[in-house]
Structure 1
């Protein structure tokens, strides 16, 4: 019997140990439930944060795509400008293939060379002289005028008037007078 009592004592001790271990395991489970609850809370907040960041990343990607399109457009415009521009600092000859409209005047080194159109002129008629013209031609005239001297002066006056007409035609063709 003793041996049976000893066995029962062992079983009881073992049952007590198992009860204590079960209680300790329950306490440990409760601690882990608190830790897991905390982890779950943190995971939920992190997931919400990630979702917010995903939205921000999508918005940024859309902004970047929009900027890429604008950059491509600007790059195309810059390429056009590089091929077809007039430089203010270039010293070599530049050409314009289109008309240019200037409000007041053209200047070279600060000196006005072409200004606004002068109006009020009536067009000259007759022949314009664009041939040789001796501006230094002198005329000899005697004490009494003869027909030959007067005719020479008249011819010089006609040539002068024809040269004036040629200059007027040139000014008019360049739009400097009306």
Structure 2
């Protein structure tokens, strides 16, 4: 039991756990962006509109990430500064990953294909934004965890490796 507790409190183990979240996030985004463009085309959205849709998420991230970063710096949650934001973005990503393939069926339930197409577009934009925005609190959490430890000089090497491994 003592060995187990020492492993959990080990700085390198915590670094691997946090960076594995980023690896999973990269894996989810890479797999989703493989399937999203064909789904948009299948829904009848022209390619020119599809590029605008795929650009809205990063644009929202560009505009809102500084506000999110400032909010996360001042957060006083019992979970810590960064974890509530990471949890919120991860839940949003999971929610979008569930809704994106079901949007056509939801439009058929309401007997309005435009509802399905609108839901597909909104969830694609929201997914892209949440995926982009989730990286900032993850990077900040890694810095917060590694600051002042023996892993401080190598924490972003591990982060970069796990990010590349997830792609």
Q: Which band: TM-score by shorter chain?
A: under 0.3
TM-score, L = length of structure 2: 0.23
TM-score, L = length of structure 1: 0.21
- Which gives a bigger RCO, structure 1 or 2 (Cα 8 Å, sep 6+)? 2
Question: Quick check: which one's helix share is greater?
Answer: 2
> Which structure would you say has the larger Rg?
1
